[in-house]
Structure 1
């Protein structure tokens, strides 16, 4: 064992000797789905699939495709996709066993429900009483918030009502950038596979929980729109909060300046929401569309990216703009954000001016995974769904396929078949989004060719990784235990269904090992750079499970 691996293993949870060298998706597999496991042991012994019920050897399996980890350990793949009988199984080699795992039709329903419910647990501006977790916290941040810096509509210190919304992560900031993409990802998951969500409802509601959560966040977003249609960026205190519950954070909470990137993402999310929410609440749908058009009108008056930001705005919250860590070219412009807005506005309103604006500003360089840094891909995807056959649609399909091919190739060459190879802040979210993009390219071309690659991204996040650990709290035999989350640190209350950021080579907290690719991770509550949850992380895994489900249910 190398010194690096020894450090990583020592800093994380103590693993059973039985499970140290065979990694599986700890939530399990679908009977008709693709099934891969991974073996780290150096010896070349074959692998047996064992029925947990009776100890019977179900299959003798071979290992293939040796790939090296950053610390030079070898990873081989075991394919047992031919096993379709529901039940509980384990994989064994001469040196150990995997954790038990299930093959079943409803394998991903429990984790999907936890992932959605985690967003309920992140609600601000209301009391949260939750039997499943034991969370019982009073209402919090009921004075949000004050204008931080004067603008043409409000003096500094003006009190506005921006109560509500979700806490973005383990602290108490609320951001338009991540709320918009989280809502859109939830609504897209519901649009793609509504049957996954129809039975899960909050007490007293007739709507699916995923719709209720989306509406809760959308209501907050409406409050963040200024009189002229522009949208404020975020709400937070001027200092990072201590390790306390949100109701104990009594510092003044400020509303920080408007920006065109946030305004464009707001317009896109609202226009999309107007379509999805309409069957549940037509009046609310009209309100969302009106807000989207108001935001679009503001954008038409601003030809260049504009961000009302000054030194000190980020003293108690994340920047969510270009900074020393986030340097992508998409952050130098708001074109990618506008593209998403134009696409959604065109589809919802049918107005040709929005399609013309999309075509005028479109460049294939903006087609990549969907994230707050660059949300254009969802607009591309929705236009592909909405457009009739023709040159315009063909171009979008081709551009999407080219990006998907790059991720597929990366997955084929990677340990654990991971499509995303940028191990930076939020790499787990990027992995999920790469899987979604691959599926979109498949569906856009009317094919199902890369389902196995999509499955592998789910597998990696749920246990088939170098740590033999699910990156989602309370999901799997071994899962993240030491979440960086102020409420959990302060109270000890278990928070299930939280996807953490994952391996990050920069390791800004100074706890995880740096520059080790997918090994730059440690399960430590001190390591906020790898072990903090964020709402958009969960949303991406929800979306990944939804598109995977669509492969089996007529996408």
Structure 2
């Protein structure tokens, strides 16, 4: 199936390829109850003995109190959200909070913090969620421990959560490890993958990735080449050059943005080699991009593969698409920043030099061939069935790819030809030409410009113009104005709940975090961490579903985690991998799901008559809901077509990783 990612919004790395297969989910450990059970042991309580814990009978469809189910760093803002649904599938629920809210130590049932909830927007209903909301701020509590929030008068409680340092480290590791599960051609041993997801190398049989043929010359053995490796892109297993290059760049920026957090113990095959595993994972992507480059410097655009569950059982042939300007420029950017980062590790000095040469060769070909395009999965050129998502771009997309490549090439080589290109063309980027336009839909361009502004050899006037424009854009009513004005009662404002909204949450957080990384503006670290933290908390459960939007995180502290994703491996109906609660394993931990998708999901237009699988009416949710409730934890293929909501994407994952790794 062909998908329009992000509803046509420009976000260079974004991908949610549709697949002609459905998806699945998995389980690690057993889900725990949403209701904490106080220990019988007790130390001296801060206040009088707490009242018995009970669920409010008025909240049967959704949670009453939502918190970050992994917890909060001691110095960070901590706000529980109390919700009273007004519109949507759970409008029959009702919760008017009592006047006293408590934080209770789960170890001894002692009340350690007391306060009163504050109505959001004077008690108005929020149109994006359909809820009335109250905030209970317990930021003053900094002591390490395991807690839950309780409404003293109503008896309603939150899930348990922790306060402490390094709380997000195991979550971050799980999120990064999802790239390992997405590796094509990688043997996944039980020691690395876990028993439930052990699998042989995929797509390495006859006629597959090691001797793939050009899609338009399938019978011509002379077109065979090795395009093995890389990552399954999303729920589909195809490999797209431009998007893969974007993932490499994002992973390497994750490393550059907070080097101390990255360790060499993520239990991937490269662990223990003296290189942080985030860099090892980026190199896996670079290795594949290297195989996609031709001798003239151009880079092939795509590899289309067959799908199966598990991936090693896929037997169909692999085909590749021709080179394009956009694929070549995006690869040039990845080669260049890869050269810079990997050059910092002595074991990779020769590899870094090779990447630098690849980057310059790609640049030279693209300059000589500025408008070569290729649309995969397009009947107009006979490529229907080659891949799923469409990665080809427009004139502005090729321009930004070239400008981004020039920035990273200048950093990697120090050659003034690349700096001159940046200085002559940066003012055509939307950030400048649209007068301080900062947007999650142009994030890669903005990040590259900020990176250029931080380089010691950057032209001072260009660097100043970039930094001033970014700061002005961030200070607008559309960014900081939404934070300080509390535009979103769930404290994670985004402009639209479109395809891949959970990825946009991560991108928005990174817009704020980049202020601190690059020293732009004068916002305090506390303000930046509060703003960015709101997006992490949303993805960790501070949302209308009280749902951790990462798969199968029960063993890491989640009480309500995503159970199903649309993925060719973790497919609907699989006894092993369909569902984290009801299958043997479900999907592995840490995969970010696409999330709420307002007005862009529907069942097949021929439903309900075309198939009994339609049911009698569209499921609610996701249908007919306010934007933040336009989600369902499902992974059905045709005819219910869950992929606009429940598919994963390496791009979604990369934005989340870059965000979480910088919360401190």
TM interval, shorter chain, is: 0.7 to 0.9
SS of equivalent residue, structure 1 residue 140: coil
Q: Number of residues paired by the alignment? A: 525
**How far apart are residue 386 of structure 1 and its match?**
1.1
Q: 1:468 aligns with which of 529, 546, 552?
A: 546
Which shows bigger deviation, 161-170 or 18-27? 18-27
**How far apart are residue 130 of structure 1 and its match?**
3.3
Q: 1:395 aligns with which of 442, 465, 470?
A: 465
SS of equivalent residue, structure 2 residue 202: coil
CA distance in structure 2 between the aligned counterparts of 1:314 and 1:358, rounded to whole angstroms: 37
Kept after mapping to 2: 8 A contact 1:190/1:197: yes
CA distance in structure 1 between the aligned counterparts of 2:215 and 2:365, rounded to whole angstroms: 21
**How far apart are residue 296 of structure 1 and its match?**
0.6
SS of equivalent residue, structure 2 residue 322: strand
Partner residue, 2:351:
284
CA distance in structure 1 between the aligned counterparts of 2:415 and 2:301, rounded to whole angstroms: 28
CA distance in structure 1 between the aligned counterparts of 2:438 and 2:321, rounded to whole angstroms: 28
CA distance in structure 2 between the aligned counterparts of 1:293 and 1:270, rounded to whole angstroms: 9
CA distance in structure 2 between the aligned counterparts of 1:72 and 1:208, rounded to whole angstroms: 44
Unaligned runs of 5+ in 1: 1-12, 323-328, 550-555
The equivalences for 1:65-76 within 5 A come to: 65-66=120-121, 68-70=126-128, 72-76=130-134
| 2:366 aligned with 1:293 | no
**How far apart are residue 72 of structure 1 and its match?**
3.1
Distance 1:226 1:114, change over 3 A: same
**How far apart are residue 514 of structure 1 and its match?**
5.3
CA distance in structure 2 between the aligned counterparts of 1:48 and 1:530, rounded to whole angstroms: 35
Which 4+ residue blocks in structure 1 deviate beyond 4 angstroms?
13-19, 154-157, 329-332, 366-371
Kept after mapping to 2: 8 A contact 1:336/1:376: yes
Partner residue, 2:303:
235
CA distance in structure 2 between the aligned counterparts of 1:149 and 1:31, rounded to whole angstroms: 58
Partner residue, 2:369:
302
Partner residue, 1:6:
none
Q: 2:597 aligns with which of 504, 512, 523?
A: 504
Cα offsets for 1:454-481 (capped at 9, x unmatched):
0001001111111101001122111100
Partner residue, 1:386:
455
CA distance in structure 1 between the aligned counterparts of 2:295 and 2:439, rounded to whole angstroms: 32
Which shows bigger deviation, 339-348 or 243-252? 243-252
Kept after mapping to 2: 8 A contact 1:29/1:102: yes
**How far apart are residue 306 of structure 1 and its match?**
3.1
Q: 1:133 aligns with which of 186, 191, 194?
A: 194
Partner residue, 2:444:
375
Partner residue, 2:109:
55
Partner residue, 1:120:
180
**How far apart are residue 417 of structure 1 and its match?**
1.6
Q: Relative to total residues, which structure has the larger helix share, 1 or 2?
A: 1
Which shows bigger deviation, 57-66 or 334-343? 57-66
| 2:628 aligned with 1:518 | yes
Q: Which has the higher contact order (CA 8 A, sep 6+)?
A: 2
Partner residue, 1:8:
none
Partner residue, 1:37:
80
Q: 2:314 aligns with which of 230, 246, 249?
A: 249
Distance 1:513 1:398, change over 3 A: farther
Partner residue, 2:225:
160
Which shows bigger deviation, 255-264 or 273-282? 255-264
SS of equivalent residue, structure 2 residue 133: strand
CA distance in structure 1 between the aligned counterparts of 2:336 and 2:186, rounded to whole angstroms: 27
Distance 1:452 1:374, change over 3 A: closer
Cα offsets for 1:264-289 (capped at 9, x unmatched):
11111111111111122101111111
| 2:477 aligned with 1:477 | no
Kept after mapping to 1: 8 A contact 2:319/2:386: no
Cα offsets for 1:281-331 (capped at 9, x unmatched):
101111111111111101211344633554253525233336xxxxxx967
Distance 1:159 1:446, change over 3 A: farther
| 2:568 aligned with 1:486 | yes
Cα offsets for 1:190-246 (capped at 9, x unmatched):
112122122424355332221211111110011111222222221113xx73x5221
Partner residue, 2:646:
531
CA RMSD of aligned residues (A): 2.7
Kept after mapping to 2: 8 A contact 1:149/1:257: no
Partner residue, 1:346:
410
| 2:195 aligned with 1:148 | no
Query: Scaled by the length of structure 2, what TM-score is found?
Result: 0.74
CA distance in structure 2 between the aligned counterparts of 1:213 and 1:333, rounded to whole angstroms: 26
SS of equivalent residue, structure 1 residue 487: coil
| 2:284 aligned with 1:211 | no
Distance 1:156 1:521, change over 3 A: farther
Cα offsets for 1:41-64 (capped at 9, x unmatched):
341423211111211111222323
CA distance in structure 1 between the aligned counterparts of 2:284 and 2:631, rounded to whole angstroms: 33
CA distance in structure 1 between the aligned counterparts of 2:589 and 2:597, rounded to whole angstroms: 22
Cα offsets for 1:507-551 (capped at 9, x unmatched):
4463632573221111001212111111121111110012323xx
SS of equivalent residue, structure 1 residue 77: strand
Kept after mapping to 2: 8 A contact 1:507/1:520: no
**How far apart are residue 79 of structure 1 and its match?**
1.9
CA distance in structure 2 between the aligned counterparts of 1:369 and 1:277, rounded to whole angstroms: 30
Kept after mapping to 1: 8 A contact 2:102/2:112: yes
CA distance in structure 2 between the aligned counterparts of 1:487 and 1:308, rounded to whole angstroms: 26
| 2:239 aligned with 1:190 | no
**How far apart are residue 85 of structure 1 and its match?**
0.7
CA distance in structure 1 between the aligned counterparts of 2:238 and 2:600, rounded to whole angstroms: 21
Distance 1:390 1:91, change over 3 A: same
Q: 2:535 aligns with which of 453, 457, 466?
A: 457
CA distance in structure 1 between the aligned counterparts of 2:288 and 2:416, rounded to whole angstroms: 30
**How far apart are residue 422 of structure 1 and its match?**
2.1
Larger CA Rg, structure 1 vs 2: 2
CA distance in structure 1 between the aligned counterparts of 2:624 and 2:407, rounded to whole angstroms: 40
Distance 1:407 1:261, change over 3 A: farther
Partner residue, 2:8:
none
Kept after mapping to 1: 8 A contact 2:564/2:634: yes
| 2:476 aligned with 1:408 | no
CA distance in structure 2 between the aligned counterparts of 1:227 and 1:548, rounded to whole angstroms: 42
Distance 1:333 1:124, change over 3 A: closer
CA distance in structure 1 between the aligned counterparts of 2:430 and 2:285, rounded to whole angstroms: 30
